[in-house]
Amino acid sequence: MPVALSIAGSDSGGGAGIQADLQTFAALGVHGTTAIACLTAQNPREVKGVQPAWPQMLRQQLEAVFEELPPAAMKTGMLYSRNLMVVVADFLETHRVNVPLVVDPVMVATSGARLLRTDAVRLLQKRLLGRATLVTPNTMEAALLWGREVNTVEDLRAVARWLHEHHGCAALVKGGHLKGLKVAVDVLFDGREEWLLEAPWVRGVSTHGTGCTYSAAITAGLAKGLSLLEAVSQAKDFITQAIAHSQRIGRHQVLGWRADKVRGNLKAGGCNCGDPACQSRQGGVY
C-alpha cells in the first residue's frame, strides 16, 4: 500500500487538518502518516487556541516517518509559524526529498481566524513553493499570495499563471468562494496547459475542512502513481461527494469521506460557470 504524509495541524473538532487528511487517505486506499505542526482547539464555529509544536519535535516526526515509512507523496497544511516552516524546508533540502509535494497554503480558517503568521507568508513563497509539485490556494489565500483580489474565473486563471511564473510549481486555484456562479469552478495550470474543473454546487451545506480534504485527495492520487491531472480530477470528484454526503453531527455538518463513484471531473464542452467575464469557451483544456 502506498504511503502518504501530511504535515499539518491537528483539529480537535475532527473536521479539518490532520484528521481530515487521514480520513481522506484511508478512503482512497493509501496509508496515512503524519507530522503534527501544531495543536488547535477548534470546532466548526471558531478557533479557540493554537499551540505550535516544538521545532525539534516536528523534525523528529519527519525523521521517524522517512526512516521506516517513506512516503510516495506528501502535503503540507497548517504550518502556522516561520520557525516550523524552516524546519520543514530544511528537512526537505538536507534529505533531498524527491517525492510529489502538495502545498496547501492554509492561512485563514473557515471561521475567519488567521492560521499563518504574516512573517511566514514570504518564507512560504521563498522556501516551499519552489519545491512544490502543486500549490492549492482558495480565493482568499490566492489574493494574499498575489497581492490582488480574486473575484472572477478570469482572476483564477491569472493567479494560477502568476504562481507558476514566480514559483515554478503547478497551481490549482479553487473558486469555491466566488459569488454568482452556477457551478463550483477551479483552475489548474501546470505551466503548459490550463484546465477548468467544475462540479455542481451542493446547496444548503456549510462544512469546514474542504481544502484539507481536497489537497489530501490529490496527495493520495499522486502517491498511487496518478498523473497530476488525474489526481486533481479524482480529488475534485471526491471533495464534491464528501460535501454532498456530509452528515449532521452536533450543530454542524461534517464532511462524508467516501470513495465510491469517484470518476474524475474534467469539464468537457463550453464553460457553464455563469461568470460573464469568463473568456474560457473552448472546453476543459484552454
pLDDT on residue 112: 61
Q: What is the pLDDT along the chain (286 residues), one digit of tens a residue?
A: 999 999 999 999 888 999 999 999 999 999 999 999 999 998 878 889 999 999 999 999 999 999 999 999 999 999 988 999 999 999 999 999 999 999 999 887 665 666 777 778 889 999 999 999 999 999 999 999 998 999 999 999 999 999 999 999 999 999 877 877 888 899 999 999 999 999 887 766 667 788 999 999 999 999 999 999 999 999 999 998 888 887 887 777 778 777 665 555 444 334 444 544 444 433 343 3
The number of C-alpha atoms within 13 Å of 106 and in the hemisphere containing its C-beta is: 33
* Whole-number Å distance between alpha carbons of 30 and 88: 22
pLDDT on residue 88: 98
Cell 492561512, residue? 107
Report the chain's terminal Cα–Cα distance, integer Å: 35
pLDDT on residue 222: 98
Which residues in 243-272 are b (16+ Cβ under 10 Å) and which e? beebeeeeebbbbebebeebebbbbeeebe
The answer to whether residues 185 and 270 touch, using CB atoms and an 8 Å cutoff, is no
The answer to whether residues 75 and 132 touch, using CB atoms and an 8 Å cutoff, is no
List, in order, residues 6 or more apart from 177 with CB less than 8 Å away.
Answer: 138, 139, 140
Q: Among residues 14, 24, 32, 174, which one is catalytic?
A: 174
Q: Among residues 207, 213, 219, 240, which one is catalytic?
A: 207
pLDDT on residue 179: 78
Catalytic annotation on 174? Answer: yes
pLDDT on residue 187: 97
Catalytic annotation on 271? Answer: no
* Whole-number Å distance between alpha carbons of 136 and 221: 15
Q: Among residues 77, 209, 221, 284, which one is catalytic?
A: 209
The number of C-alpha atoms within 13 Å of 30 and in the hemisphere containing its C-beta is: 30
The answer to whether residues 276 and 179 touch, using CB atoms and an 8 Å cutoff, is no
Q: Return the domain boundaries, the chain.
A: 3-254
Q: Among residues 211, 267, 273, 278, which one is catalytic?
A: 211
Catalytic annotation on 211? Answer: yes
Q: Is 112 left (phi over 0), alpha (psi -120 to 50) or beta?
A: left
What is the CATH architecture of 3-254?
3-Layer(aba) Sandwich (3.40)
Catalytic annotation on 207? Answer: yes
Catalytic annotation on 210? Answer: yes
* Cα maximum dimension of the chain: 52
Q: Among residues 38, 169, 212, 278, which one is catalytic?
A: 212
The answer to whether residues 281 and 157 touch, using CB atoms and an 8 Å cutoff, is no
- Least Cα distance to 125 among 74, 158, 191, 171 occurs for 171
* Whole-number Å distance between alpha carbons of 171 and 161: 8
Q: Among residues 34, 210, 213, 240, which one is catalytic?
A: 210
